[in-house]
Chain A
């Protein structure tokens, strides 16, 4: 299998599994005040609305990546893979104090960064930048 396709499929699968798990974990915190977001959602239950939408929107991106990895030319979807992590990655820094105050781990930064680097590697492997330069020269 082409490396580019493999990267997109791994990323898509990871996103589907991670976001569905986090939606369930968030739901438990929302309902019972326990788990990863327990402290935050006990005090601010409205916070789950955004998390629910955000996680499931990420699931749809995961399904998209997974589905296109079976197609002929999924190379451009590396950009969707990178773009999908920008807002959650930025949120980790913008809301650093709130995340810290509620005892939520910052491990999300590592996962977002790892997936963006993986997709960036996919961009390089698929020669998109090289082709772009070639077109510009012409």
Chain B
């Protein structure tokens, strides 16, 4: 029972975390681009080009969320764990590499710590779930 909980909790947490974060960020990026408003106004002021990559990245993250939801509904847990761990590892690593250019520069260190730790915790949870699934 507990093993099955880890399996589902890790996938649902990934879907919620990536889904909510990517959608909110995309709305923020569009609000900044079209109306010069939203949470990114101060951070990206005078840097209109910087939004291009963020918009693409958050769009792709939301495509992954749709994929995870589809696979979760099909009970294809192994595939979901493999790809979710890869996605979280990539995003957590990107946070770490660009720590100074992003979180420090924009004085968002707390958000940086929370999101980066959450990415790596989810990598661990997905890998543990994968190991449990393979063992069964």
Q: Which of B27-78 contact A (CB under 8 A)?
A: 30, 33, 44, 47-64, 66-67
Write the nearest CB–CB distance from A64 to chain B, whole angstroms: 6
Kindly list chain B residues whose C-beta atoms are within 8 Å of the C-beta of A87.
55-56, 58-60, 62-63
Secondary structure at the A interface, as helix, strand, loop or mixed, is helix
Are A88's CB and B56's CB within 8 A? Answer: yes
Task: In the complex, identify which listed stretch (B3-11, B98-106, B120-128) lies at the interface while the others stay far away.
Answer: B98-106
Secondary structure at the B interface, as helix, strand, loop or mixed, is helix
Are B52's CB and A98's CB within 8 A? Answer: yes
Q: Does B118 contact A (CB under 8 A)?
A: no
Write the nearest CB–CB distance from B102 to chain A, whole angstroms: 6
Are B94's CB and A91's CB within 8 A? Answer: no
Are B33's CB and A94's CB within 8 A? Answer: yes
Kindly list chain B residues whose C-beta atoms are within 8 Å of the C-beta of A44.
47, 49-50
Are B60's CB and A47's CB within 8 A? Answer: no
Chain B: residues with Cβ within 8 Å of the partner, total of 34
Chain A residue with Cβ nearest B91: A53
Q: Does A84 contact B (CB under 8 A)?
A: yes
Q: What would be 26 A-B contacts, judged by CB atoms less than 8 Å apart?
A: A40-B49, A44-B47, A44-B50, A45-B101, A46-B44, A47-B49, A48-B53, A49-B102, A50-B53, A51-B52, A51-B53, A51-B57, A54-B54, A56-B94, A60-B86, A60-B90, A61-B64, A63-B86, A64-B83, A83-B66, A87-B59, A91-B56, A94-B30, A94-B33, A94-B55, A95-B49
